[in-house]
Amino acid sequence: MKNIIKVIENNGAMLSSDIAEEVSKITGENHATIRRKISRECTKKDSLLGHLNLKFPHKENFIYLKSQGFNEEFFTNLKNAANKTRSVYSYILNAFDCTNGVIKYNKACILSGSPSKIKGHIGYNTIIGILNRINMNDYIFLSGSPYL
């Protein structure tokens, strides 16, 4: 467990597979074993680790140290992880970068790259709601129009 925490302290928040790879280099343990340790640790109430309830491909989790909080490095690492895995969240996170963090709501629906009602796909309302829940965005109204 100490090695997992040390890797996150040095590199910041990252995907569970990336943590497993780094720890494997240090200890020589199997990736699957390390990912199970991470998963178990994240479910404990008094854990030092936290994870976001975002659906990344291949059941990966984005793991962070609770003591580090949601700083700028955290959000940069989250965006990089979304881009690396080609997650549905990458489109909207990159759109926030391109627009200096302010997007009109009806444009966000387009920029998210997600349809609203196709079976098996995460809709843009869900993506925006999840990002709102983890404090990545907020709704504001300017001249009567909603913005993120």
Q: What is the pLDDT of residues 6-60, one digit of tens each?
A: 999 999 999 999 999 999 999 999 988 998 888 888 888 888 888 877 778 888 8
pLDDT at residue 144, as a whole number: 63
Q: How far is CA 105 from the centre of its chain?
A: 21
pLDDT at residue 24, as a whole number: 92
Given a cut of 70, whether residue 141 has pLDDT beyond it is: no
Helix (H) or strand (E) holding 15: strand 14-15
Count of Cβ atoms closer than 10 Å to residue 60 Cβ: 22
Calpha distance 7→21 (Å, rounded) = 10
Question: 11-15, 67-71, 123-127, 141-145: lowest mean pLDDT where?
Answer: 141-145
Q: What percent of the chain has pLDDT over 70?
A: 87
pLDDT at residue 115, as a whole number: 65
Given a cut of 70, whether residue 139 has pLDDT beyond it is: no
Residue 148's pLDDT band, with cuts at 50, 70 and 90, is: low
pLDDT at residue 107, as a whole number: 81
Closest CA to 5 of 29, 30, 22, 17: 22
**pTM of the full predicted structure?**
0.79
pLDDT at residue 83, as a whole number: 92
